[in-house]
Amino acid sequence: MDEVPNVIESAVIGVPHPDFGEAVVAVVITKGEVTEEAIKIATKQQLAGYKQPKKIIFLDELPRNTMGKVQKIVLRESHKNLFS
């Protein structure tokens, strides 16, 4: 996903899904305009179907700890009801 023009960085998380058990969600940070469709096209070319994000969320920044690592647990917790 980071190869898509204007995508600065991204994180991929799993969140609960009523049909799949867990669904792949991409959290994307952009500069300028990036469409959800552009990201879906890029992932479709590179990933197997079950690895492709079911949802794409755009944020201004990713939560990080004091060491600069992305806190995926914070992302999972804040989006756990996305498919409820």
Q: What is the pLDDT of residues 37-54, one digit of tens each?
A: 999 999 999 999 999 999
pLDDT at residue number 37? 93
C-alpha to C-alpha distance for 62 and 40, rounded to whole angstroms: 20
The whole-model pTM stands at 0.90
pLDDT reading at 3 higher than 90: no
Q: Determine the average pLDDT of the residues in 11-29.
A: 96
Q: What angle do CA 19, 24, 28 make, to 5 degrees?
A: 140
- Centre a 10 Å sphere on the Cβ of residue 66 and count the other Cβ atoms it contains: 5
C-alpha to C-alpha distance for 83 and 77, rounded to whole angstroms: 13
pLDDT reading at 2 higher than 90: no
Q: What is the pLDDT of residues 65-80, one digit of tens each?
A: 999 999 999 999 999 9
| The CATH number, out of the four listed (3.20.20.10, 3.40.1180.10, 3.60.15.10, 3.30.300.30), of the domain defined by the range 7-78 | 3.30.300.30
